[in-house]
Amino acid sequence: MTQRSVPVDAYIIGGGPGGLATAAALKARGLHGVVLERADRIGSSWRGHYDRLHLHTPRELSGLPGLPIPKEMGRWVSRDDVVRYLELYAAHHRLDVRLGTEVSRIDRSPEGDAWTLALADGTTLTAPYAVVATGFNHTPREPAVPGLQDYSGTVVMARDYRNGAAYAGQDVLVVGTGNTGTELAVDLVEHGAARVRLAVRTVPHILRRNTGPYAAQYTGIAVRHLPTSLVDRVAPIVERIQTPDLSAHGLPRPDTGLLTRVERDNAIPVQDVGIIEAIRTGAVEPVAALRELDADAVVLADGTRLHPDVVVLATGYTQGLEPLLGHLGVLDDRGRPCERGGRTPRGAKGLWFTGYTNPISGMLRELSIDARKIALAMALRKRREMKALRAAS
């Protein structure tokens, strides 16, 4: 997959969907982007997810530029098929992907007209442009749970969870009510856990993944650019139509605005792949938020003390960009890029970012849009620079 003799226009950091999509979009505009992936295989983050994971967006809205996802992978594409698709994608576009190449720092070149990448092995690479695409789920968030270090019970991080077979017959508490936490709770039930409880700090918005042939993502696309206050007012009506009232089962209606949570916290609604029925039937029991771990007990916010066999912590991810480029002043106060898509940060021209939001309109769809915007912006920038260089000479 390498083309080392071809001059490099841009180094693209990250061999996941965002990085591959950007490389393909650049190639379509006659630019050579080299993908640098720290793992020994592309799509490494997808390979590490739990077994039952499927895309929550339909196949027809999830393909990357220049190659639709094959129909035989089904409408809701599995984890393993996503990985297979990424491999097919890189091969189809003959992308220049360099595996086992970890970038530890990005800096302006000494001349100020390019970007220099310091690699973990001590070598450096330089190119006129750079794209950062290490991914929204790059670094697992370490849980800030009081008493965790001294807790004598079994704790499993969601990043290490594969399936519920090992927990059959056990009492399990899942902490985290995002898509990962709710899906793991369902998985535990399906694998025969004796009891599954779900610790709820913030009541999630839950929507059906699809209603007949109509996928929820289509609604997300439709409302993406509507006023936040309008979507927040309309969403409860939609939720009442789609989602039964689970208050009697311990999960009240959310009291936060749906789009407000997406924009403020990057918390997209939970896509129902069984959690509604599991709560309604009592297979999954919502309980108060986790307050602390005390020796051999789990203490909830309401003072309840539990003694589960296993605690599963689904505490999410961070982007982990500070060591890479925190010194450049291109990150906001949450550690996320100030710009995305075709826009470059002030003072860092020629440096682009993709994949650092969790959009209601679908991550893969937005990565594809960003890839095309980056390719266009880079092509125009290169044209201007070449024109200026010719004029100067």
Final residue before a domain boundary, out of 316, 351, 378: 316
Give yes or no for a contact between 184 and 157, defined as CB atoms under 8 angstroms apart.
Answer: no
- pLDDT value of position 110: 87
pLDDT of residue 2: 45
Q: Is residue 297 part of a domain?
A: yes
Residues 267 and 204: their CA atoms lie apart, in Å, by: 9
Q: Mean pLDDT, the chain, as a whole number?
A: 93
Q: 5 in a domain, yes or no?
A: no
Task: Mark whether 123 and 185 lie in a shared domain.
Answer: no
**Is 184 in the same domain as 309?**
yes
Residues 162, 292 within the same domain: yes
Helix (H) / strand (E) element for 310: namely: strand 310-313
Q: How far apart are CA 328 and CA 275, in angstroms?
A: 43
CATH number at residue 66: 3.50.50.60
- Domain match, 161 and 306 both: yes
Count of residues in the chain: 393
Task: Tell whether 169 and 254 lie within a shared domain.
Answer: yes
Last residue of a domain, one of 316, 338, 361: 316
Do 165 and 302 belong together in one domain?
Answer: yes
Q: Does residue 4 belong to any structural domain of this protein?
A: no
Sign of the Cα pseudo-torsion (28, 217, 312, 300, in order):
positive
In this predicted structure, the answer to whether residue 141 has a pLDDT above a threshold of 80 is no
Determine, yes or no, domain membership for 224.
yes
The verdict on 220 and 310 lying in the same domain is: yes
Statement: residue 1 has pLDDT above 80: no
Q: Can you give the residue range of the structural domain that contains 243? A: 142-316
- The stretch 367-391 carries a mean pLDDT of 94
Does some domain include residue 155?
yes
Residues 129 and 39 in one domain: yes
pLDDT in tens, 181-203: 999 999 999 999 999 999 999 99
Is residue 330 scored above 70 in pLDDT?
A: yes
Residue 337 falls inside a structural domain: yes
Pair 94, 29 in one domain: yes
Domains in the chain: how many in total? Answer: 2
Q: Can you say whether the dihedral through the CA atoms of 302, 303, 305, 310 is positive or negative?
A: positive
Residues with Cβ within 8 Å of residue 386, at least 6 apart in sequence: none
What are the distances in angstroms from CA 164 to CA 3, 172, 185, 245?
43, 10, 9, 28
What tokens does 89 get? Answer: 């994608």
Beta-strand relationship, 195-200 and 284-288: parallel
Same-domain status, 307 and 244: yes
Share in percent of the chain as helix, strand, coil (round to 5): 35, 20, 45
Nearest Cα neighbor of 274 from 201, 194, 365, 191 is 191
289: confidence class by pLDDT, cuts 50, 70, 90 = very high
Q: What is the pLDDT of residues 53-62, one digit of tens each?
A: 999 999 999 9
- 50 and 185 inside one domain: no
Q: What is the pLDDT of residues 245-286, one digit of tens each?
A: 999 999 999 989 999 998 888 788 999 999 999 999 999 999
pLDDT in tens, 148-189: 999 999 999 999 999 999 999 999 999 999 999 999 999 999
Same domain for 348 and 336? yes
- What percentage of the chain exceeds 70 in pLDDT? 98
Q: Determine the average pLDDT of the residues in 336-363.
A: 91
Domain boundary among 316, 342, 362: 316
Asked whether residue 3 is domain-assigned, the answer is no
**Does residue 261 lie within any of the structural domains?**
yes
Amino acid at 44: S
